């Protein structure tokens, strides 16, 4: 058995990029779940990770050989308000590995103790948010959405004080990197142009090597980040996913979904759906996510101005030209995504008509598309029409849809419509059971949603929408 072969490129950057700090030692670490499939995929020894030595690393109890723990510095706009210093206040980047496919990956502990960036927080994570991120991030990976991954969830054996005392836990997160829009903002706010250039060079080398060939590599990087974010947010929209806390420090420049705090999935379709308890003005509602995406990218462009061009007016024009195409790229990805979900050629007008119908009728977002997929496969219509307040509206719409549906598109339709998603009430049930010491619902839910397209007769109830008394009205960051 062997531990990770660390090679820590971020730790070789200048000291101002991070603070070197070891994780807290968990008093009684216990493995809740190890993602053995992910471990094998990225070249880690699952047997070692399950060992006493591995558990010590995953819980923060010991620093593994080759690890150089650090907390990353970054700033950010949180709900539109500027915070000049945030940083990893409860996370430790243990280091990096290079996977068998050549991808460089971060291994980070989340909930592993206080750092110089903790801002009076305890640096710990409660069990609930750790389980939520494990469930949802692994579902996102299963349906092909770029995302950070959950390698392990570990109970620490301590109580963390929030509104009440809660069991503590640590999540081991795998990411292409943890460089955020807010990382660039941190140096821009301090007028540290040299560090902005160093960070841009690092991101280009690690994530966008093709940009090196461009006349202006930083501009090319900004264009590529913009494209990735447009495609990513379109994928969220196609799943009814609401991130809930799209602050600039929660937008990762490699284009992965990161920081699953108060995230949720729509049940009944309403474009203005918000779940996060701290999003009181609906800034991060489902329908607003693309607008926030371009706003965040504009903040990235702003932070890159000093290294885009020596002349500020020219730099601004270049930045605007790089971020400007976001809307077109997003709309193209969204139209293609929903065309696949409907099994039809791209038809934006029909898609908008569908959104209005779904909202007027209160249709369940996920069941609408899974029931439609079954109709496309020759199944009955009753499950689909049952989603409507007025069944006649369903029949009228189905008549229009049949004229557009192309059976050749059925495989793409099936691939675009997972049967099982991490329903908010199921996630909450799993968390509440775990808090009471029963992890079986958590284990079952992970198994179900990481096989989201497969028929699972023994778990058919996980497909169902919540009953009125099961509906989750709000989600919480849990920090």
Active site residues per annotation:
249
What are the DSSP calls for 352-412, one per residue? HHHHHHHHHHT-BHHHHHHHHHHHHTT--SHHHHTTSSSHHHHHHHHHHHHHH--GGGHHH
- Which residues are CB-neighbours of 217 under 8 A, at least 6 positions away? 200, 204, 211
CA 301, CA 296: separation in Å to the nearest integer?
9
Is there a binding annotation on residue 324? no
Is there a binding annotation on residue 121? no
DSSP annotation of 271: T
Sign of the alpha-carbon dihedral angle for 344, 236, 464, 139: positive
- Reference 310, options 218, 378, 389, 402; nearest CA is 218
Is there a binding annotation on residue 90? yes
Is there a binding annotation on residue 41? no
Terminal-to-terminal C-alpha distance of the chain:
35
Is there a binding annotation on residue 255? no
Q: How far is CA 15 from the centre of its chain?
A: 28
Is there a binding annotation on residue 250? yes
Is there a binding annotation on residue 122? yes
Cross-strand pairs, 216: none
Is there a binding annotation on residue 347? no
For 193, the enclosing helix (H) or strand (E) is helix 193-207
Query: What torsion do the CA atoms of 38, 53, 177, 204 make, to the nearest 10 degrees?
Result: -110
Q: How many degrees, rounded to 5, is the angle at CA 330 between CA 325 and CA 335?
A: 130
Is there a binding annotation on residue 212? no
Is there a binding annotation on residue 378? no
Binding residues: 87, 89-90, 110, 122-123, 173, 180, 250, 259
Binding-site residues from annotation for Mg(2+)? 250, 259
Residues annotated within the binding site for ATP are 87, 89-90, 110, 122-123, 173, 180, 259
């Amino acid at each position: 058995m062997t531990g990770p072969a660390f090679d820590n490129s971020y730790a070789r950057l200048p000291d101002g990029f991070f603070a070197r700090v070891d994780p807290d030692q968990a008093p009684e670490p216990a493995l809740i779940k190890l993602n053995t499939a992910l471990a094998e995929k990225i070249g880690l020894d699952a047997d070692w990770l399950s060992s006493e030595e591995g558990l010590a690393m995953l819980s923060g109890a010991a620093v593994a050989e080759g690890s150089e723990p650090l907390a990353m510095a970054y700033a950010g706009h949180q709900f539109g308000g500027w915070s000049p210093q945030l940083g990893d206040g409860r996370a430790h980047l243990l280091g990096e590995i290079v996977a068998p496919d050549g991808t460089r990956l971060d291994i980070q502990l989340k909930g592993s103790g206080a750092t110089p960036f903790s801002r009076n927080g305890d640096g710990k994570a409660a069990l609930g948010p750790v389980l939520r991120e494990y469930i949802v991030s692994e579902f996102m990976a299963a349906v092909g959405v770029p995302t950070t991954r959950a390698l392990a969830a570990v109970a620490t054996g301590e109580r963390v004080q929030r509104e009440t005392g809660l069991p503590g836990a640590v999540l081991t997160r795998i990411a292409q990197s943890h460089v955020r829009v807010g990382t660039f903002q941190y140096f821009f706010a301090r007028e540290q142009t040299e560090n902005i250039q160093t960070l841009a060079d690092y991101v280009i080398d690690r994530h966008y090597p093709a940009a090196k060939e461009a006349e202006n590599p930083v501009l090319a990087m900004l264009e590529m980040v913009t494209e990735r974010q447009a495609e990513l947010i379109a994928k969220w929209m196609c799943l009814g996913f609401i991130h809930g806390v799209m602050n600039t420090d929660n937008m990762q420049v490699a284009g992965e979904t990161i920081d699953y705090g108060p995230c949720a999935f729509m049940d009944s379709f309403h474009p203005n759906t918000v779940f996060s308890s701290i999003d009181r003005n609906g800034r991060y509602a489902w329908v607003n996510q693309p607008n926030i995406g371009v706003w965040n990218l504009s903040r990235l462009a702003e932070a890159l101005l000093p290294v885009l061009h020596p002349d500020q007016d020219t730099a601004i024009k270049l930045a605007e030209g790089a971020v400007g195409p976001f809307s077109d790229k997003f709309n193209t990805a969204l139209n293609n995504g929903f065309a696949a979900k409907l099994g039809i050629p791209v038809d934006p007008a029909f898609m908008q008509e569908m959104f209005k119908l779904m909202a007027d009728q209160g249709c369940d977002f996920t069941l609408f598309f899974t029931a439609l997929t079954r109709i496309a496969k020759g199944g009955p219509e009753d499950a689909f029409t049952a989603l409507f307040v007025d069944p006649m509206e369903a029949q009228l719409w189905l008549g229009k849809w049949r004229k557009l549906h192309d059976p050749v598109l059925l495989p793409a339709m099936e691939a675009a419509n997972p049967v099982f998603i991490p329903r908010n009430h199921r996630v909450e049930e799993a968390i509440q059971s775990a808090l009471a010491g029963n992890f079986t619902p958590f284990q079952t839910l992970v198994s179900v949603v990481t096989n989201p397209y497969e028929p699972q007769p023994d778990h058919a109830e996980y497909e169902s929408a919540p009953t009125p008394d099961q509906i989750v009205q709000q989600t919480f960051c849990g920090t």
